[in-house]
Amino acid sequence: MSKKNKRRSVRDAALDVIIAVESQASYSNLLLHHAIETNQVSKKDTGLLTELTYGTLQRRDALDYFLAPFLKGKKIDAWVRNLLRLSVYQMVYLDKIPERAIFHEAVEIAKARGHKGIAGMVNGVLRSMQREGVKSLEDINDQEERLAVSTSHPVWLVKRWVEQYGFDKTKEMVEVNIKAPYQTIRINSIVSTREEVIEKLTEEGFMVEASPYVPEAIRVLKGNAANSPLFTEGFYTIQDESSMIVAHVADIENGSKVLDMCAAPGGKTTHMAEKNKDGQVISLDLHKHKKKLIDENAERLKLKNIKSYVMDGRKALETFEKESYDRVLVDAPCSGFGVMRRKPDIKYSKVEEDIHRLSSIQSELLSVASKLVKPNGLLLFSTCTVDKEENNENIVRFLKEHPEFDLETPQVPSAIQPFVEDNMLQLFPQDIDSDGFFIAALRKKG
* Residue range 236-268, pLDDT digits in tens: 999 999 999 999 999 999 999 999 999 999 999
Q: Are strands 217-222 and 207-210 parallel, antiparallel or unpaired?
A: antiparallel
Q: Which of 230, 281, 328, 384 is catalytic?
A: 384
- CA–CA–CA angle 310, 311, 317 (5° rounding): 145
Q: What's the pLDDT at 4?
A: 44
390/380 Cα distance (integer angstroms): 14
Binding-site entries: 262-268, 285, 312, 331
Q: Which helix (H) or strand (E) holds 51?
A: helix 43-58
Q: What's the pLDDT at 25?
A: 66
How much of the chain is in helix, strand and coil states, percent to nearest 5?
55, 15, 30
Q: Which helix (H) or strand (E) holds 185?
A: strand 183-187
Burial of 104 (0-12, 13-18, 19+ CB in 10 A): middle
CA distances in angstroms from 63 to 27, 55, 347, listed in the order given: 20, 10, 15
Walk along the chain (446 residues) in steps of 10 and give the mean pLDDT of each run. 52 91 76 78 82 94 97 92 97 92 94 94 96 96 98 97 98 95 94 97 97 97 91 96 98 97 96 96 96 96 97 97 98 96 90 95 97 98 97 97 97 97 97 97 96
Helix (H, G, I), strand (E, B) or coil at 1: coil
- Report phi then psi at 351, rounded to 5: -125, 165
CATH number of 241-444: 3.40.50.150
Q: Cβ(390)–Cβ(335) under 8 Å?
A: yes
Q: Cβ(354)–Cβ(394) under 8 Å?
A: no
Binding-site entries for S-adenosyl-L-methionine: 262-268, 285, 312, 331
Name the DSSP class of 428: -
CATH number of 10-135: 1.10.940.10
- Which residue, among 383, 332, 381, 385, has the nearest Cα to 157 in the 3D structure? 385
| 334 in active site | no
Task: Please state at what angle helix 60-71 crosses helix 78-93, rounded to 10 degrees.
Answer: 110
| Topology (CATH level 3) of domain 183-238 | Alpha-Beta Plaits (3.30.70)
Domain chopping of the chain, boundaries: 10-135, 140-178, 183-238, 241-444
Q: Which helix (H) or strand (E) holds 420?
A: strand 420-421
- Which residue, among 401, 400, 389, 402, has the nearest Cα to 438 in the 3D structure? 389
Q: What's the pLDDT at 9?
A: 73
Beta bridge mates, 386: none
Total-model pTM: 0.92
Tell me the pLDDT tens digit for each residue of 309-338.
999 999 999 999 999 999 999 999 999 999
183-238 and 241-444, same CATH topology: no
